[in-house]
Amino acid sequence: MIHSIFTIAAKDFVSELRGKEMVLSMLVFSLMVAVVFNFALPPGSDAIEEAAPGILWMIFIFASVLGMNRTFVYEVDKGCLQGLMLAPVDRVVIYISKLLVNFSFIFLVELMVLPLFSIFFKLDFATGIWPLLFVLFINTLGLAIVGTLFSAISVNTKTREVMLPILQFPVTVPIIMSAVEATSAVLQGQEWSVIWGWSKIGIVFDVVFFVVAFHTFEFVIEE
Amino acid sequence: MTPNVERCAAVSTHRLSKTFGAQYALRNVDLEVQAGEFVAIFGPNGAGKTTLIRILSTLTKATSGEVVIEGHPLNKDSGKIRCKIGVIGHQTFLYENLTAEENLKFYARLYRVKKANDRITQLLRDVGLETRRKDQVRTFSRGMQQRLSIARSLLHDPSLLLLDEPYTGLDQHASKMLTSWLTRLRERRQTTLMVTHDLERGVDLADRIAILVRGKVVFNDLRANVDRSAFRQVYYDLVEKHNRQR
């Protein structure tokens, strides 16, 4: 199982390195939104510290949807999903490998955007970088878990570009809440117990939805 | 064909049905493909040919009925069956950003093909793409992609080959190459089930011929019992007759 997961994921990494469709679109979108908010909220204004976690996660969530929309589109358009489904591997292997790829690319874009966001808004992320990375990890994983499952559903609909955010946003409300509040706590230099308290919501979300996705993906992908 | 091979049914369906809502795509299909046999199934659009291939290749679940492939019931041993089948469809299942070699290596890893490099080299040579092995598939013509698709489908040495309209989108030259390839497979006694619109090519290749209309097998006979020159008319008559029975 592990061998097949990494085989599919490695293929997607190589394919993305050549096509650069997913990472580039997420990165450009993130930078554009950051620039727009930089004009709306000039650096040094009082509103920035309060709004920054919300803006940051809004960027990450919309960018992740943009990227995850591509997850199965490429497979379906070229008929390759059938090729994967014909291989003697469990359907859930396809899900986990796609989850791994989605998570890696979203997290990579977040790591690239974070320093730029810090420069644009004159925010100090360096002080609480480890708690911040922890918050990013937990909540990005949640977005990828749900987004990978829903992108498999939306890819077979006519309005697939619109369908993913419509399906995903209502479900990810707990993640958005956990992510924004925990990031806010990091930026305000609050104690670890506060950050951990909010992050627990993200962790529970990740576990619950991974179990749901694990058991439902086969039905989602088959017909 | 050896007598030993003749006794063993590679594919057997019994009262196989598939519905989409109230619509029957397949209706009580009974079909047997013997090991080493090349079976061509003809039928008009919407006859259920692709649905049959999708069920046999484990991509779609049947609504009712039984399918046994190489002794394995499809509803219980789909994993084992996937190791034994190769599928060539309308689409090539190839990744355009990857090279020909990378595509085959990827599938070889999924199928856990032993001595994969040797096998890939041999197959690329067989389909005449050895010199293009390092080129990305996006640079290939449709015919070349289909040849690579043949190599992909044979990579794990499947005992059953399922072909779904393999001539779709091919020019005359590529079609001729595909025919010569299928002829070689037939000579090697590769068990093959092909669904196609192409009556002449199908009749020339097949050991057994079946016609599917509105989800039902309305004709099933050995190629040796079929008059090639009269077959087109037989086909049209059967399709018209069964289409009238709406």
Could you state, in order of their start, the residue ranges of all structural domains in chain A? Answer: 2-222
By C-alpha distance, the chain A residue nearest B90 is A79
Residue A201: pLDDT band (50, 70, 90) is very high
Report CB contact under 8 Å: A87, B152. no
Return the percentage of chain B with pLDDT > 90, whole number: 24
Looking at the complex, report in whole angstroms how far the Cα of residue A27 sits from the nearest Cα belonging to chain B.
21
Residue A147 and residue A155: Cα distance in Å, rounded? 12
- Give per-residue pLDDT as tens, A130-142: 999 999 999 999 9
Report CB contact under 8 Å: B107, A82. no
Looking at the complex, report in whole angstroms how far the Cα of residue A81 sits from the nearest Cα belonging to chain B.
7
Report phi then psi at A145, rounded to 5.
-60, -50
Q: Which residue matches tokens 């305000």?
A: A188
pTM: predicted TM-score of the whole model, two decimal places? 0.86
Helix (H) or strand (E) holding B16: strand B9-20
Does A87 touch chain B if contact means CB atoms closer than 8 Å? yes
Mean pLDDT of B133-140: 92
Q: Are A152 and A167 in contact (CB under 8 A)?
A: no
Q: Are B195 and B165 in contact (CB under 8 A)?
A: yes
Residue A190 and residue A67: Cα distance in Å, rounded? 32
Does B165 touch chain A if contact means CB atoms closer than 8 Å? no
Q: Cα A175 to chain center, whole Å? A: 11
Q: Which residues of B touch A14 (CB under 8 A)?
A: 97-98, 102
Residue B93 and residue B152: Cα distance in Å, rounded? 9
The ranges assigned to domains in chain B are 3-244
Nearest CB among B93, B96, B111 relative to A88 is that of: B111
Mean pLDDT of B100-107: 94
Report CB contact under 8 Å: A11, B106. yes
Report CB contact under 8 Å: A82, B93. yes
Q: Which residues of A touch B61 (CB under 8 A)?
A: 222-223
Residue B3 pLDDT greater than 50, yes or no? no
Report CB contact under 8 Å: B80, A88. yes
Mean pLDDT of A152-161: 81
Q: Cα B232 to chain center, whole Å? A: 21
pLDDT at B4: 42
Report CB contact under 8 Å: B93, A15. no
Report CB contact under 8 Å: B57, A86. yes
pLDDT at B5: 42
The overall average pLDDT reported for chain B is 86
Q: At what angle are helices A91-121 and A70-77 packed, to 10 degrees?
A: 140
- Residues A8, A9, A11: CA angle, nearest 5 degrees: 65
pLDDT at B170: 75
Residue B62 carries which side chain, given as an amino acid letter?
A
Helices (H), chain B: 3-7, 49-56, 78-84, 100-110, 116-126, 142-154, 172-187, 199-205, 228-244
3-state SS, chain A, equals: CHHHHHHHHHHHHHHHHHHCHHHHHHHHHHHHHHHHHHHHCCCCCCHHHHHHHHHHHHHHHHHHHHHHCHHHHHHHHCCHHHHHHHCCCCHHHHHHHHHHHHHHHHHHHHHHHHHHHHHHHCCCCCCCHHHHHHHHHHHHHHHHHHHHHHHHHHCCCCCHHHHHHHHHHHHCHHHHHHHHHHHHHHHCCCCHHHHHHHHHHHHHHHHHHHHHHHHHHHHHHHC
Q: Which fold has domain B3-244?
A: Rossmann fold (3.40.50)
Looking at the complex, report in whole angstroms how far the Cα of residue B200 sits from the nearest Cα belonging to chain A.
28
Residue B56 pLDDT greater than 50, yes or no? yes
Q: What is the ipTM of this complex?
A: 0.83
Does B113 touch chain A if contact means CB atoms closer than 8 Å? no
Strand partners, B163: B88, B194
Looking at the complex, report in whole angstroms how far the Cα of residue A220 sits from the nearest Cα belonging to chain B.
12
Report phi then psi at B227, rounded to 5.
-85, 110
Does B135 touch chain A if contact means CB atoms closer than 8 Å? no
Residue B8 pLDDT greater than 80, yes or no? no
Selected for mutation to probe chain A from B61, B97, B104, B150 (highest A CB count within 10 Å) is B97
Neighbours of A156 (CB within 10 A): 14
Report CB contact under 8 Å: B93, A83. yes
Q: Are B145 and B136 in contact (CB under 8 A)?
A: no
Looking at the complex, report in whole angstroms how far the Cα of residue B207 sits from the nearest Cα belonging to chain A.
26
Report CB contact under 8 Å: A79, B109. no
